[in-house]
Amino acid sequence: MANRIETKCIQEGWKPEKGAPRQLPIYQSTTFKYDTSDEMGQLFDLEAEGYFYTRLQNPTNDAVAAKICALEGGAAAMLTSSGQAANFYAVFNICEAGDHFIASSAIYGGTYNLFGVTMKKMGIECTFVDQDLPEEELAQYFRPNTKAVFGETITNPTVSIFDFEKFARLAHSHGVPLIVDNTFATPINCRPFEWGADIVTHSTTKYMDGHGVGVGGCIVDSGNFDWLAHKDMYPGLTTPDESYHGIVYAEKFGKGAYITKATAQLMRDFGSIQSPQNAFYLNLGLETLHLRVKRHCENALAVARFLEKQEKVAWVNYGDLESSQYHGLVTKYLPNGSCGVLAFAIKGGRDTSVKFMDQLKLASIVTHVADSKTCLLHPASHTHRQLSDEQLRAAGIAPDLIRFSVGLENVEDIIADLEQALEQIS
Ligand SMILES: *Cc1c(COP(=O)(O)O)cnc(C)c1O
- For residue 15, the enclosing domain spans 5-284
Using the mean position of ligand 1's atoms as its centre, give its distance from the Cα of residue 183 in Å: 7
Using the mean position of ligand 1's atoms as its centre, give its distance from the Cα of residue 202 in Å: 7
Using the mean position of ligand 1's atoms as its centre, give its distance from the Cα of residue 111 in Å: 8
CA-to-CA distance for 47 and 250, rounded, in angstroms? 15
Q: pLDDT averaged over the chain?
A: 95
| pLDDT at residue 387 in the model | 77
Do residues 40 and 163 both lie within one domain?
Answer: yes
Closest CA to 387 of 373, 374, 401: 401
Residue nearest to atom 7 of ligand 1 (CA): 83
| pLDDT at residue 390 in the model | 81
| pLDDT at residue 183 in the model | 98
Do residues 107 and 17 both lie within one domain?
Answer: yes
Do residues 327 and 221 both lie within one domain?
Answer: no
Do residues 264 and 354 both lie within one domain?
Answer: no
| pLDDT at residue 327 in the model | 97
Per-residue pLDDT of the chain (426 residues; tens, 9 = 90+): 689 999 999 999 999 999 999 999 999 999 999 999 998 888 888 888 889 999 999 999 999 999 999 999 999 999 999 999 999 999 999 999 999 999 999 999 999 999 999 999 999 999 999 999 999 999 999 999 999 999 999 999 999 999 999 999 999 999 999 999 999 999 999 999 999 999 999 999 999 999 999 999 999 999 999 999 999 999 999 999 998 889 999 999 999 999 999 999 999 999 999 999 999 999 999 999 999 999 999 999 999 999 999 999 999 999 999 999 999 999 999 999 999 999 999 999 888 988 999 999 999 998 889 999 999 999 888 888 877 888 788 777 888 899 999 999 999 999 999 999 999 997
Query: Which residues sit with their C-beta closer than 6 Å to ligand 1?
Result: 82-84, 87, 108, 110-111, 152, 156, 181, 183-184, 203, 205-206, 215, 217
Do residues 269 and 339 both lie within one domain?
Answer: no
* Global confidence as pTM: 0.97
Do residues 168 and 60 both lie within one domain?
Answer: yes
Ligand 1 atom closest to the CA of 84, numbered from 1: 9
Q: Tell me: the pLDDT tens digits for 58-86?
A: 999 999 999 999 999 999 999 999 999 99
Pocket test for ligand 1, best of 113, 154, 156, 375 (most atoms within 8 A of CB): 156
Do residues 219 and 308 both lie within one domain?
Answer: no
Do residues 360 and 381 both lie within one domain?
Answer: yes
Do residues 135 and 255 both lie within one domain?
Answer: yes
Using the mean position of ligand 1's atoms as its centre, give its distance from the Cα of residue 296 in Å: 18
Residue nearest to atom 4 of ligand 1 (CA): 83
Ligand 1 atom closest to the CA of 183, numbered from 1: 13
Q: What is the CATH number of the domain that holds 334?
A: 3.90.1150.10
Give me the amino acid identity at 86.
A
Secondary structure in 3-state letters for the chain: CCCCHHHHHHHCCCCCCCCCCCCCCCCCCCECCCCCHHHHHHHHCCCCCCCCECCCCCHHHHHHHHHHHHHHCCCEEEEECCHHHHHHHHHHCCCCCCCEEEEECCCCHHHHHHHHHHHHHCCCEEEEECCCCCHHHHHCCCCCCEEEEEEECECCCCCCECCHHHHHHHHHHCCCCEEEECCCCHHHHCCHHHHCCCEEEEECCCCCCCCCCCCCEEEEECCCCCHHHHCCCCHHHHCCEHHHCCECHHHHHHHHHHHHHHHHHHHHHHCCCCCHHHHHHHHHHHHCHHHHHHHHHHHHHHHHHHHHCCCCEEEEECCCCCCCCCHHHHHHHCCCCCCCEEEEEECCHHHHHHHHHHHCCCCEECCCCCCCCCEEECCCCCCCCCCCHHHHHHCCCCCCCEEEECCCCCHHHHHHHHHHHHHCCC
Using the mean position of ligand 1's atoms as its centre, give its distance from the Cα of residue 108 in Å: 7
Do residues 260 and 318 both lie within one domain?
Answer: no
Using the mean position of ligand 1's atoms as its centre, give its distance from the Cα of residue 70 in Å: 21
Using the mean position of ligand 1's atoms as its centre, give its distance from the Cα of residue 218 in Å: 11
| pLDDT at residue 1 in the model | 65
Do residues 220 and 326 both lie within one domain?
Answer: no
Q: What is the CATH number of the domain that holds 82?
A: 3.40.640.10
Do residues 276 and 318 both lie within one domain?
Answer: no
